[in-house]
Amino acid sequence: MLKSLTTIIIATFAAMALAACAGGDDTPEPTSAPRATSTQAPAPSPTPAPDPTAPAASGGCAGAEESCALAEQIATELLSGDLDAVVSRVRLRPYTCPGPEPEGLGGAYPLCEGAAAGDVREGLSHAHLQSEGGVISPDALRTTLEGWLSAADASASDSFSTGGPAFATVGCPMTAAGVDCTGAIGVVFTMIAAGGGRGLLELVIQRDADGPGITWLVTGIVTENLNNEIVSGGASDIQLTFGLDGVESTGTSYFRPDAGP
């Protein structure tokens, strides 16, 4: 049984505090899909540790209790194969289609494939680490999740873990005040694909007028020097606050690994 994600998120703040002691609903209409990038694990001198006395670093899930609870529910649903439940938690955003075919990389595709210029369709941003992103429909999200789970090789293993789909970390944005989960929470899963290669899948939870929901899907590969901190824990330059008004992030997120069952 997974350790409570709420406990893990609270532990994130405690870890950052110890490091310091040691040293609305009117979302603007997106015009293109986000591009998420993540590079090698940070050097020995990463983003300075936050002030443990800052409000954002002292409250754990304070102000984000619903999002923390939803993160735990989503982890259970995905790993049990209840994909209908996961998809039902998506917060779709409107995209104005420029035409039936993309004019370049990225953009609101494949969501807008076949659409007339000016058509408005609702979808979910899908970021591919180290590549261009896109936008997908709820049906496409379900297909993506199903394919990711079924591609796992449970009999495989590597230096990180075994190959079956598993919860890996939760991540929250770093702000000038410290780790702050009120804006967004990323729930990260990992597995080894049949034929080799560890992959990651992240569902980002953000809050709107209707409460917290999934607003962003992130997928990518994991190697010793690529995206490793996202599944193992630590600071990463992946951005978790896409599309949020009034959220000033340093562009860095902090991921906390599961510490046990």
Closest CA to 133 of 232, 20, 218: 218
Distance separating alpha carbons of residues 231 and 257, to the nearest angstrom: 7
77: pLDDT strictly greater than 80: yes
- Quick one: tokens of 151? 């591609």
pLDDT greater than 60 at residue 97: yes
- E strands in the chain: 93-96, 120-128, 134-136, 166-175, 178-179, 184-192, 198-208, 211-222, 234-236, 253-257
Residue 91 pLDDT: 92
Query: Taking residues 219-242, what's their average pLDDT?
Result: 82
Query: pLDDT tens digit string along 206-226?
Result: 888 888 999 989 999 998 888
Average model confidence (pLDDT) for the chain?
75
Query: What is the rounded CA–CA span in Å between residue 170 and residue 204?
Result: 10
Tokens of 187: 């729930």
Contact 48, 170 (CB under 8 A): no
The arithmetic mean of pLDDT across residues 124-147, rounded, is 91
pLDDT digits (tens, 9 = 90+) for 156-183: 999 888 999 999 988 888 877 778 888 7
> Is 205 a residue whose pLDDT tops 50?
yes
